[in-house]
């Protein structure tokens, strides 16, 4: 199991970036009353065939040539299923991929969420050309950050500019 839910989110987002996604939407919902945490990542990367989609959920398969075993998806799935939740992966070749995992908030083995702010900032700084949308609903309170909208407002200033990152960091501090 990974130490934090954010480690899983990072791994799943890196998969999307490796699949040359230009748009990655990350949805997190935390509802204490319903005792549920859900994470959904949707990308417009190269996608997978039905057969590959099945295989990547198995810990002994990877298309990476450097190492035979891909673990990101099986670990995320395993954590969800172990922690009283569900998992699904939907993908279409040439269109994109959607990954969903849910967890029972009260499960004793549920890893902590981790540092969502740093996770988001690292993804933006390392991949300024990707359009990210982060949507976070905690106990009904809604928050969204859309880097395409931010870039439109910035004009020629790059989103990875230190002042812009500082500003986004403050915005995240106020809202997460």
Ligand X SMILES: Nc1ncnc2c1ncn2[C@@H]1O[C@H](COP(=O)(O)OP(=O)(O)OP(=O)(O)O)[C@@H](O)[C@H]1O
1 binds ligand X per the rule CB under 6 A: no
Q: Select from 73, 101, 124, 168 the one that contacts ligand X (CB under 6 A).
A: 73
* Residue 63's binding partner out of ligand X, Mg ion, none, with CB under 5 to 8 Å set by partner kind: ligand X
Specify whether the CB–CB gap between 96 and 21 falls below 8 A. yes
15 binds ligand X per the rule CB under 6 A: yes
CA distances from 83 to 11, 47, 108, 157 (A): 19, 27, 8, 43
Beta strands 141-146 and 23-31 are: unpaired
Tell which positions 76-135 bind ligand X, by CB under 6 A: 97
Interacting residues with Mg ion (CB under 5 A): 11, 15, 72
Specify whether the CB–CB gap between 105 and 37 falls below 8 A. yes
**Cβ-based neighbours of 104, under 8 Å, separated by 6 or more:** 35, 36, 37, 83, 84, 85, 110
Q: Select from 71, 137, 150, 165 the one that contacts ligand X (CB under 6 A).
A: 71
| Count of residues near ligand X by CB under 6 A | 19
Element (H, E) at 97: strand 96-104
* Least distance from ligand X to the Cβ atom of residue 85, Å: 18
Binding site for ligand X (CB under 6 A): 11, 15-16, 19, 43, 45-48, 56, 62-64, 70-74, 97
């Amino acid at each position: 199991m990974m130490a934090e839910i954010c480690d899983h989110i990072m791994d799943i987002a890196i998969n999307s970036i490796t699949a040359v996604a230009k748009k990655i939407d990350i949805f997190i919902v935390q509802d204490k009353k319903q005792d549920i945490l859900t994470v959904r990542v949707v990308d417009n990367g190269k996608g997978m065939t039905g057969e590959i989609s099945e295989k990547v959920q198995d810990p002994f398969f990877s298309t990476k040539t450097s190492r035979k075993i891909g673990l990101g998806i099986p670990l995320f799935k395993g954590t969800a299923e172990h922690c009283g939740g569900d998992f699904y992966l939907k993908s279409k070749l040439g269109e994109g991929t959607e990954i969903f995992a849910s967890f029972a908030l009260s499960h004793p083995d549920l890893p902590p969420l981790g540092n969502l702010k740093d996770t988001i900032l690292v993804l933006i700084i390392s991949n300024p050309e990707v359009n990210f949308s982060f949507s976070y609903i905690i106990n009904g309170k809604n928050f969204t950050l859309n880097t395409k909208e931010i870039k439109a407002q910035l004009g020629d200033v790059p989103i990875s500019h230190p002042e812009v990152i500082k500003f986004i960091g403050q915005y995240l501090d106020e809202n997460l």
